[in-house]
Amino acid sequence: MKVSAKTAAVILPLFFIIGIVGTMASGYWKTESSKDPAKYNTGQFAGESNPADIRGSYSFGNVEEVFGIPAETTAKAFGMSDSDYPAALQAKLFEEVYGFIGDWEIGTDSLRLFVARYKGLPYEPEETTGLPQPAWNILKKEGALTEAELAELEGRLVSLDGIEVNLEEAIAAEEEHEETVVTDTTIKGKTTFGDLYTWGLTEAQVSEALGGVEPGPRTMPVRDYCGEIDLEFSVLKEALQPILDSM
């Protein structure tokens, strides 16, 4: 059936509007990145916020709102207690201030690990994720860990002694970085799950696009994971790319 140009001009905008309404109804349409992390879907912690969904854009204030850990406590755990406004500090500053110290990295995943252990929630950190000594001290005093669990974390401890933390310089450097780097949020073969979360997607959204399957590790390319679970990569891309484009 042929459709005239005049008819198409009326129909296409309607399809576009219907699509937006549908994504809004499903929770996919977002005008800004959510600071409400995904929830555990099963087990004894079902319904609780999952620290695995914490992203670099999360501030210590966001962590306090969602997980109930005071911003001052998080700042102290990561050697930033000198800040006058700890609630405004963001996890992505860790990479600017610390990064790799020896074999261990102090980054956003360190915050996920700290929050999870503080709250007694399950979380499997990345192999190179380190934990600052002050964070371990706080977990020992205030966290919900057993002696065995604390001992397990000792292998990841990183001393901050001798490391000068200049927050003003770090914040300025991060702001300059954001101004000069244009992020391409097109899902490609090399796109990792970590990339999707950094761009603003939640673990719940990715899981739904995977057909309800739990997403792979943050460092794993999405295309490779789709191959493992026999899902066409194009199916996942078609589900998630419109969400990214709308942000």
Percentage of the chain surpassing pLDDT 90?
A: 44
Q: How far apart are CA 111 and CA 55, in angstroms?
A: 9
Q: What is the pLDDT of residue 226?
A: 93
Q: What is the pLDDT of residue 65?
A: 94
Q: What is the pLDDT of residue 121?
A: 92
Q: What is the pLDDT of residue 195?
A: 85
Q: What is the pLDDT of residue 8?
A: 39
Q: How far apart are CA 208 and CA 222, in angstroms?
A: 14
Mean pLDDT by 10 residues, the chain (247 residues): 43 43 39 64 90 89 94 94 87 86 92 94 92 94 83 92 74 54 77 87 91 87 91 92 88
Give the burial class of 184: count Cβ atoms within 10 A of its Cβ; 0-12 exposed, 13-18 middle, 19 or more buried: exposed
